[in-house]
Amino acid sequence: MSSMRQKINTSIFVSSLWTIHANECGNSAACYLSISNRLILIVLGQLGAFWGHLYLDANGHEIDDLTSSVPLYLSEQRFHKLIEDWTLQSFQIVFRDLIELILYIY
């Protein structure tokens, strides 16, 4: 099986799991932390969007380099913003097909 085909199959499988969990536990909505890229993923039905990073370096910058050994810290400001956005369902982000987003992660 080709690498791309395997990636697509994995994305479809993960998308299904996340959607099932969102439907069963969150009235079709869920919030996930992607460990692989440290991004928050918001799932609404079959759609998803990256909300942003919660963990920043000591200077308040996002670190996209996954091989970096720079220590990261939970940003209380961003954490409270995520809670506010989630509570009010007032996301300022563009939702896309969930499988597309998962392909980006993997």
Domain boundaries, the chain: 3-105
In this prediction, residue 57 carries a pLDDT of 94
Q: Could you say which DSSP state residue 3 is in?
A: H
For 47, half-sphere exposure in the C-beta direction (CA atoms, 13 angstrom radius) is 7
Segments of the chain with pLDDT less than 70: 1, 106
Q: Could you say which DSSP state residue 96 is in?
A: E
In this prediction, residue 1 carries a pLDDT of 58
C-alpha distances out from residue 103 to 8, 10, 88, Å: 7, 8, 28
In this prediction, residue 19 carries a pLDDT of 86
In this prediction, residue 71 carries a pLDDT of 93
CA distance 8 to 6: 5
96-97 sheet: strands from edge to edge = 29-34, 39-44, 47-53, 96-97
pTM strictly above 0.75? yes
